[in-house]
Amino acid sequence: MPLKRSHSQRQFEEDSSSDDDDYFILGAAQIVHSFSNVRRGHGGSIPGRMKIYRDRQGGHDRMFRDYLAVNPTFGPAIFRRRFRMSRELFLRIMNAIEAHDDYFVQKRDCCNELGLSCFQKVTAAFRMLTYGVPADATDEYVRIGESTVLESLCRFVGAVVEIFEDEYLRYPNEADTKRLLALDENKGFPGMLGSIDCMHWAWKNCPYEKQGQYKGHVDKPTIILEAVASHDLRIWHAFFGMPGSHNDINVLHRSPLFAILAEGTAPQVNYTVNGHEYTMGYYLADGIYPSWATIVKSITLPMGNKRQYFAKAQEAARKDVERAFRVLQARFPIVRGPARFWDTQTLALIMRACVIMHNMIVGDEGSVDPDERFDGGGQNVQPGRGQATRTLDEFIEAHRKIRDDETHFQLKEDLIEHLWSHYSGLY
């Protein structure tokens, strides 16, 4: 039989329970308040935060006199070295971004003072891309805070991708294919569209729970860039984001490189080598890649003069993509050093923006003559238009032809004979 509680006992228990609830509520409030003071966003004037007078307008005026004035302090050669591109190309990018994103338009604050100019924000982003420095390293000259630099960089690379990707990071069209085929046939490889390989970008701030996924043959997290480059170092294909635990074969299986070829929308390549006709272009690759009809690899242990000569020629031409990687890292050291950002989306935008600007520099510096015309792909190479649409059976059959190893070995033997008969006497 339960004991009856007196009124005083019930009142004491209720008061104790109320005190406990108040205690827990007060403790939770203190915890939330302490965490809210750890990290703040753009909060403006906050008690306890030191205010820095950066003289933003004076910083813009000095930068303008240094680089953009009629008679600048630092001429075109120094501008090219520090911004990795000509002043004309830089102004084209900056003006396009200012028109595309209102964030880069200079505004006045509530005190009627001018804020940061587009030139300051873009220059801060370029300093991080072209020097690989931390965000706060630009404050002394550009007069811009660390958080604003990071925001400017993210907005800048996003705008570059949105504005210029369709023009400077696309698959070769029919005119591009004619040019590539003609230039590569002069090197002894008719039907070649470039060389393919992968590059690893170290990820310094990879979250701990993802490090096992992003660690591969090296004991540090990396992210992979698969690229196809031509002899002029233009990058025609960039597939970025695969974890570093993958190898080149895994990346190729997930890459959209041959998607447009299987869909029938790519320019068709028709060429003849050693009396055999082929209808698909190919890429030069190293030995890890699979034996597909669209990939030509070297010979590991070549026996005989013909095969030795082919191996040397293939390996020499395949270095185009390696050179493109080195030039990309030299122009934009941010992709050479360890990545300091925390999410893969931002890293993907940075990589794609650097590739796009790399291609813009290649075209701007005269590596590609805009007035150069190629009516055909060479003496025995003629590109044609691909089929617009394909049924499911045609799509499967196209994939089967791309992965056909018999065509791969036959093409390699024909190229061995072609190189030996046409080019061996030149050396």
**pLDDT > 80? residue 60:** yes
Last residue within a domain, chosen from 131, 164, 197: 164
pLDDT more than 90, % of the chain: 58
Per-residue pLDDT band at 27 (split at 50, 70, 90): low
CA distance 214 to 278: 39
The pair of structure tokens assigned to 44 is 């403006």
Residues 216 and 156 in one domain: no
10 assigned to some structural domain:
no
CA distance 307 to 411: 13
Per-residue pLDDT band at 409 (split at 50, 70, 90): very high
Mean pLDDT of 329-354: 94
Dihedral sign computed on CA atoms, order 120, 123, 124, 125: positive
Task: Check: CB of residue 266 under 8 Å from CB of residue 173.
Answer: no
Q: pLDDT, tens digit, for every residue of 350-392?
A: 999 999 999 999 999 875 444 444 344 444 444 444 455 678 8
Residues 286 and 384 in one domain: yes
Residue 242 host element (H or E): strand 235-243
45 assigned to some structural domain:
no
* pLDDT of res. 376: 42
* pLDDT of res. 368: 46
Per-residue pLDDT band at 175 (split at 50, 70, 90): confident
Give the number of domains in the chain.
Answer: 2
* pLDDT of res. 267: 84
Mean pLDDT of 69-84: 93
Q: Which of 173, 172, 179, 233 is nearest to 381 (CA)?
A: 179
Last residue within a domain, chosen from 134, 164, 194: 164
Residues 398 and 263 in one domain: yes
39 assigned to some structural domain:
no
Of 339 and 375, the one with more pLDDT: 339
Task: Check: CB of residue 286 under 8 Å from CB of residue 249.
Answer: no
Residues 295 and 325 in one domain: yes
Residues 182 and 159 in one domain: no
The least confident of 166-170, 201-205, 390-394, 401-405 is 390-394
* pLDDT of res. 114: 85
Mean pLDDT of 258-285: 90
* pLDDT of res. 182: 87
31 assigned to some structural domain:
no
Residue with tokens 């043959």: 217
Dihedral sign computed on CA atoms, order 174, 175, 176, 180: positive
Residues 120 and 196 in one domain: no
pLDDT more than 70, % of the chain: 82
What's the distance, CA 17 to chain centroid? Answer: 60
DSSP secondary structure letters along 325-380: HHHHHHH-GGGTS-B--S-HHHHHHHHHHHHHHHHHHHHHTTSS-TT---SSSSSS
Residues 295 and 352 in one domain: yes
* pLDDT of res. 19: 52
Q: What are the C-alpha distances in Å from 94 to residues 216, 309, 380?
A: 38, 48, 44
- Provide the angle, in degrees to the nearest 10, between the axes of the packed helices 118-131 and 56-63: 70
* pLDDT of res. 378: 43
Residues 207 and 331 in one domain: yes
Residues 337 and 387 in one domain: yes
CA distance 147 to 19: 43
Residues 405 and 303 in one domain: yes
Mean pLDDT of 217-244: 93
51 assigned to some structural domain:
no
Q: Which of 307, 303, 287 is nearest to 295 (CA)?
A: 287
Residues 314 and 210 in one domain: yes
* pLDDT of res. 11: 53
Query: Among the residues of 186-304, which ranges form H helices?
Result: 211-214, 248-254, 259-263
Q: Which residues, in sequence order, are bridge partners of residue 296? A: 284
| Dihedral-angle region of residue 53 (phi above 0 means left; psi in -120 to 50 means alpha; beta otherwise) | beta
CA distance 336 to 129: 10
pTM over 0.95: no
For residue 180, what are the contacts with CB-CB under 8 A and spacing of at least 6? 172, 192, 193, 194, 230
Of 388 and 273, the one with more pLDDT: 273
Residues 98 and 193 in one domain: no
23 assigned to some structural domain:
no
29 assigned to some structural domain:
no
Q: pLDDT, tens digit, for every residue of 47-58?
A: 666 677 778 888
169 assigned to some structural domain:
no
Q: Which residues, in sequence order, are bridge partners of residue 276? A: 273
Per-residue pLDDT band at 115 (split at 50, 70, 90): confident
Domain that holds residue 270: 174-426
Last residue within a domain, chosen from 116, 139, 164: 164
248 C-beta neighbours (distance < 10 Å), count: 19
